[in-house]
Amino acid sequence: MDTQDRTERTAAHEGPLSVAQAEAALVEHYPRLVRLAFITLPPALGRHRRVLVAHGIAQRALPARTRPARRTAPGVPGQRTAPAGTGGGSAYAALRARVLRESLAYGKRPGWWPGRVPAPDRLRHVLPAVWGLRVFPAAGGADELALEQALSGADAATRAALALRRAEDLTEDRTRDLLAEAGVAEPALALRTAERLAKKALGESAEGAGHPLLSGEFDPCFVHTRPTDLLRRRHRLRTAGAALVVAAVAAATLPLELREGPGTQEREAATGARNASIAQRVTDPRNLVRAKDDEWADTSRVDFTVWPARGDRRDDLALLDRALKVWSAPARTVRISSTPGTGTAPPAEPPRLLYAGDVDGAAVVLLNDGDRTVRYTEPADASQPPVLDFARTDDADVVTGAALVVTREGPASRFLLAPWIDETRTRDLLKPGAPGGELAVRGDGVTAAVPRPGAGGTCDSWPVLQLRSSELIVEKHAFLLTDLGDLAPVHLTYTPPPGSGAPARQPREATGAAALANWARTACHLPSLRGAGVRAVNNWVYAQQTLPEGAGRADWVCTRADTWRGPGRVLVQLQLPGTSPTALGVPVVEARDTAACSRFGQHVLAGAGWKGPKSGDWYLLAAGSRKVQRIQATGGVRADANGATMAVRAPRGVKAELRARMADGSTLEGLR
């Protein structure tokens, strides 16, 4: 038990503290208390509301009444505790316990719960309040974004445990004690879950002052402000005035209505006559879900659920009605396509409207029901039947929910961009050194036409979108998307080779020079993934090998494609030196429905034949990921080598089985 724990445990038994002591601790450590509340509170509140609630909880932690402090003897001052500035003083410990209890309880009880707020304290409960502005913490980097997304799916106890361990820097024992005192049923489980969550989101996460929880992304005392929707606010004021008039008229007629008693409407509902309209509710365009224009900037869930309805025909009820009716009961003439694993059943609830407008002469409606995105297209030729395209888009995020394909006209595509995209460019993966070009975007979010990769059957270019998110989401975050034939474009990422003694590296955006050079030698392998429902493709340089005969250095690359439905497939390729910067890597082995080269399969071993440029002799090359310590080959050739790579002479086309010994003593089989 460290000094801080001993101080806090002792202070907990010294009796109540005065309001003056508590106020001093509150003022000095106010940012820490607000941060603890902000991290623990439910992310579903949205960033604006969560900031205000966190400040309110911290301010209400101040005791309401002064209590006399105990004296050990007349005229003898009591024993001094650690000063509040240390973070271990009794005043700060008491305030932190109050903030923790209230933050954990906030998401469990509705606001109207009896006794939640004492009557004399109701005004203090609603403060602070902000009118006409939206407030939110500063946007962070990729690590902060990954951690925020991971926390949004965790329970309050897990978020609190992570805040206490990493933001408050408490020991595991003290964290468990505080959680238990705050009413958490299984504090040890919450602590273990928090540690797993952080490692899953950040890999080998930073510690101490470098931890993402201590960044501006999680600091509700340092906020940005933006105005609310000014037009909507003006409209609400007018609506409120009209509502007062209606309320006055209703109040005058209310006694007449009360004398009528239960009528035919109640009897129809009881007999089920009105229940027949429930099915019609789903296909009524007036019931479509529409997000507010600025909702994406005030939520921790940045995906298709916060896309506002856009397009010049978003209020065309006739078009929307046809789209919903065709989805619910398509005629035989309707052309329907769906990505693997995507159902085409009618929606169970009114879907969300993303877009309705005219693009390239066709009427297009984009709808989302939470798990699927559906595109309804009425061709420009009225004699042609409509088209329905289905794709799984559940569990989307700021990147995989950043764009949708609106139309494919000839050799080009147009995309509808998410409202959080601030910058749009195009680039050619087969020209890694060339700068990107500007891409025009209409006011409704639809881009200019972008050439489709390999549309002519050749692979002499590979156009991709290079997008940058708004700083309200994450700062300086650019990423690449490519069209592989589905509604949702595919996210391209890159994992650099392992460093000397470095921990496992995480996939990063494929916008750097090394990533673009690597993708230039991989892009023309992508056509095999068209129409497969792929969500993201990552290029991982898992090993680098010095070749025999002074032939240079080769890169072993595992290209992994993850689908929206879950299963993934991998292609291991050998990228040899001395060839064209856009020469395709040599395919070594391909596997389907595997966890290899993912966070659930972080170790890989593969081999290939190679001909020496000087001697003309053939070699068996093999390479494993960073924790491989020894490689053994059996079968057509028997050999072994220390380290993560092996090169031995072997007959051309020899069949060998590879096995590796890992750093922890386990065995890894070669990928087949």
One-character DSSP codes across 325-354: HHHHS--TTSEEEE-TT---PPPSS--EEE
* Residue 147: predicted pLDDT: 82
C-beta separation of 605 from 631 below 8 A: yes
CA angle 239, 243, 244 (to 5 degrees): 125
Of 374, 367, 389, 358, nearest in space to 290 by CA: 367
* Residue 242: predicted pLDDT: 58
How crowded is residue 367: how many other Cβ atoms within 10 Å of its Cβ? 23
* Residue 1: predicted pLDDT: 43
Strands 133-137 and 223-227: antiparallel
Tell how many helices (H) and how many strands (E) occur in the chain: 15, 27
Amino acid identity of residue 97, one-letter, is: A
* Residue 670: predicted pLDDT: 93
Q: Can you read off the two tokens belonging to residue 161?
A: 């445990």
Q: What is the mean pLDDT of each run of 10 residues along the chain (672 residues)?
A: 46 57 86 92 85 90 59 37 44 92 77 41 61 76 77 87 91 92 89 85 57 82 73 55 55 40 33 45 92 88 94 96 94 93 91 97 96 95 92 93 94 96 96 93 96 83 96 87 96 88 77 96 94 95 95 96 93 91 93 90 94 94 95 94 95 92 93 86
Burial 300-318 (b: 16+ CB within 10 A, else e): bbbbbbbbbbbbebbebee
CA angle 296, 297, 299 (to 5 degrees): 70
User: In whole angstroms, what separates CA 501 from the centre of its chain?
Assistant: 29
Q: What is the DSSP letter of 1?
A: -
Backbone angles phi, psi at 327, to 5 degrees: -65, -40
- State whether residue 435 is helix, strand or coil: coil
C-beta separation of 661 from 630 below 8 A: yes
Q: Which long-range contacts (CB under 8 A, 24 or more apart) does 555-561 make?
A: 555/497, 555/518, 555/585, 556/606, 556/623, 557/518, 557/522, 557/585, 558/596, 558/597, 558/604, 558/606, 559/522, 559/525, 559/597, 560/596, 560/597, 560/598, 561/529, 561/532, 561/534, 561/536, 561/537
* Residue 46: predicted pLDDT: 82
Q: What is the DSSP string of 226-255?
A: EE--HHHHHHHHHHHHHHHHHHHHHHHHHH
* Residue 474: predicted pLDDT: 79
* Residue 219: predicted pLDDT: 85
| Dmax (CA) of the chain | 105
Q: Can you read off the two tokens belonging to residue 395?
A: 């569990």
* Residue 21: predicted pLDDT: 84
C-beta separation of 421 from 469 below 8 A: yes
Count of residues making up the chain? 672
* Residue 300: predicted pLDDT: 79
* Residue 230: predicted pLDDT: 53
* Residue 503: predicted pLDDT: 61
Burial 17-45 (b: 16+ CB within 10 A, else e): bebebbebbbebbbebbbbbbbbbbbbeb
Of 85, 80, 61, 59, nearest in space to 69 by CA: 80
Hey, CA dihedral for 378, 379, 383, 384, is it positive or negative? negative
C-beta separation of 619 from 610 below 8 A: yes
* Residue 476: predicted pLDDT: 77
C-beta separation of 636 from 650 below 8 A: yes
Of 443, 484, 450, 485, nearest in space to 467 by CA: 450
Return left, alpha or beta for 142; rule: phi > 0 is left, psi -120 to 50 is alpha, else beta: alpha
Distance separating alpha carbons of residues 33 and 221, to the nearest angstrom: 10
C-beta separation of 355 from 366 below 8 A: yes
* Residue 154: predicted pLDDT: 85
Q: What is the DSSP letter of 584?
A: P
| Inter-CA distances, 459 with 129, 428, 436, 527, 573, Å | 58, 11, 19, 9, 18
Amino acid identity of residue 95, one-letter, is: L
Distance separating alpha carbons of residues 23 and 284, to the nearest angstrom: 56
Tell me if the pTM is above 0.75. Answer: no
| Inter-CA distances, 229 with 2, 18, 138, Å | 51, 45, 20
